[in-house]
Amino acid sequence: MVTQRLAVVLVFAGLIALVVILTGSYQPLQAQVGTASLGGAVTDPSGAAIPSAEVALESMTRKAARQTVTDPAGSYVFTSLLPDTYQLVVRAKGFATKTTQNIELTSGQGSTLNVALEIGAEATQVNVSAEAPLLQTTTATLGSQVGTEQLISLPLLGRSFTDMMLILPGASIPNQTYWVQFSPQGVGGSGGGDVAFYGQRPRNNAFYMDGGLNAFLLFNSVPHYPPPEAIAEMKVESGMDSGAYGFASGANISVVTKSGTNQYHADAWEFLRNDAMNARSFFDPTKPRIRWNQFGGSGGGPLVIPHLVSKENNWYVFGWYEGIRQPSRSPSYALVPSDAELAGDFSADPLIYNPYTSVVDANGRLLSRSPFANNQIPTGSTNICSPNPTCIHDGALQIVKTLFPRANLPTGSGPGGTNYLGT
């Protein structure tokens, strides 16, 4: 009993230590791709720099904040910021506190926001709303951005974010004959790989998700497709890219997924495609059957674990699930035993031999064996398959008839010499 109680105490202590380590010393590693930066200068009404001013950048959707102080030149900078809406609070002795709200930062953006403080008591508040988006002043890249609202509101067949690339400036689909030379599957079987930007080849694009490479490099296709409800933004950049990007000389397509916020939010969806409103082709006797169900859900918010993590501890989670069910029928050809073969008649097939007539030497090597007469296996009693009384076992024959459907096409009339058509 004492030993069991000690083991339980040790396990519980180990779990507590793990939680303390994770909550106390964990420092997230941020990739250069998918994050943003914000910098600028703090000045007085005459334009002179204000050193040692306190600058705080606070998320308006999460309990996350970063602090710094201006250097002797009055400059400040925040790097590795998650795409979000922020407010910037600047304080300095002898000046009124200034708060700039609604600062929208997107992935890969490096923006400048200069702040001019007014003389006054520090308790005085000056609030400003950054209605216009900040200019990106650190790079000369060409690019466009697509937000969540556009991804959700526009119709996307298959709900793939890569379809939005075609509405962006500089996007085009090159000659398909040329592209097939590189990929027999066209788009690599998954979409996005056949869109060219600014005259470059489609294979020169690079796809990223949350800062990591999201591509099958052989066909330059996209392996992971977050649903539109889970995407915070999609950004396409081309031109004079920074060293944060890798090999692509075309466009860099960066997707940033959503993260948890102060409030709980959830979405659920179900998209159905069928043939109810489809038209029949002139040459088809019936409409092709289509059943496509694409369903899922997403949700996020503050993480709460009773007695371990409270809502005020700034832990946030977000996740999603999406499933696809397509029970549509499609023609399928196969080669199955014909009625003649089930009756032992293989006269239409290559020569077959009777395994019971095999002659081997002392080392077990096959020397000779005799073919079946007229390429037919006797179905009744016979002594040519001795010691068996028959050459065809009735039980085995019934199993074969159960496992294989009957041929419904003339022998060899289907593609590849098949004789069965199913759906």
pLDDT digits (tens, 9 = 90+) for 212-227: 888 877 776 788 889 9
Instruction: Determine, yes or no, domain membership for 25.
Output: no
Cβ-based neighbours of 184, under 8 Å, separated by 6 or more: none
Question: What's the per-residue H, E or C state across the chain?
Answer: CHHHHHHHHHHHHHHHHHHHHHHHHCCCCCCCCCCEEEEEEEECCCCCECCCCEEEEEECCCCCEEEEECCCCCEEEEEEECCEEEEEEEECCCECEEEEEEEEECCCCEEECCEECCECCCCCEEEEECCCCCCECCCCCEEEEEEHHHHHHCCCCCCCHHHHHHHCCCEECCCHHHHHCCCCCCCCCCCCCCCEECCCCHHHCEEEECCEECCECCCCECCCCCCHHHEEEEEEEECCCCCCCCCCCCEEEEEEECCCCCCCEEEEEEEEEECCCCCCCCCCCCCCCCEEEEEEEEEEEECCECCCECHHHCCEEEEEEEEEECCCCCCEEECCCCHHHHCCECCCCCCCECHHHCEECCCCCEEECCECHHHECCCCECCCCCCCCECCCHHHHHHHHHHCCCCCCCCCCCHHHCCEEEC
Token couple for 47: 């334009």
Other CB atoms within 10 Å distance of the CB of residue 404: 14
How far, rounded to the nearest angstrom, does the alpha carbon of residue 31 sit from its chain's CA centroid? 18
Domain of 312, in residue numbers: 265-330
Instruction: Determine, yes or no, domain membership for 11.
Output: no
Task: Give the CATH number for residue 227.
Answer: 2.170.130.10
Domain finish residue from 257, 292, 317:
257
Q: Are residues 161 and 238 in the same domain?
A: yes
Torsion angle of alpha carbons 69, 73, 79, 83, nearest 10°? 90
Domain finish residue from 225, 257, 289:
257
Q: Are residues 181 and 246 in the same domain?
A: yes
Instruction: Determine, yes or no, domain membership for 295.
Output: yes
Q: Are residues 275 and 249 in the same domain?
A: no
Instruction: Determine, yes or no, domain membership for 26.
Output: no
For the chain, how many structural domains are there in total? 4
Instruction: Determine, yes or no, domain membership for 30.
Output: no
- For residues 255 and 210, is the Cβ–Cβ distance under 8 A? yes
Torsion angle of alpha carbons 174, 176, 182, 186, nearest 10°? 110
Instruction: Determine, yes or no, domain membership for 76.
Output: yes
The tens-digit pLDDT sequence of the chain (423 residues) is: 445 555 555 555 566 555 544 444 333 444 455 688 899 999 999 899 999 999 999 988 877 889 999 999 999 999 988 888 899 999 998 898 999 988 988 877 788 899 999 888 766 667 776 655 555 555 656 667 888 888 888 888 888 888 888 888 888 887 654 444 333 333 333 455 578 888 888 888 888 888 888 887 777 678 888 999 999 888 888 765 566 666 777 888 889 898 888 888 999 999 988 888 888 878 777 887 888 899 999 999 888 888 777 766 678 889 999 999 988 667 788 999 999 989 889 988 899 999 888 888 888 888 888 999 999 998 888 888 888 888 888 888 999 999 999 999 888 888 888 989 887
pLDDT digits (tens, 9 = 90+) for 138-186: 565 666 788 888 888 888 888 888 888 888 888 888 765 444 433 333 3
Q: Are residues 244 and 339 in the same domain?
A: no
> What is the number of residues in the chain?
423
Instruction: Determine, yes or no, domain membership for 4.
Output: no
The amino acid at 311: K
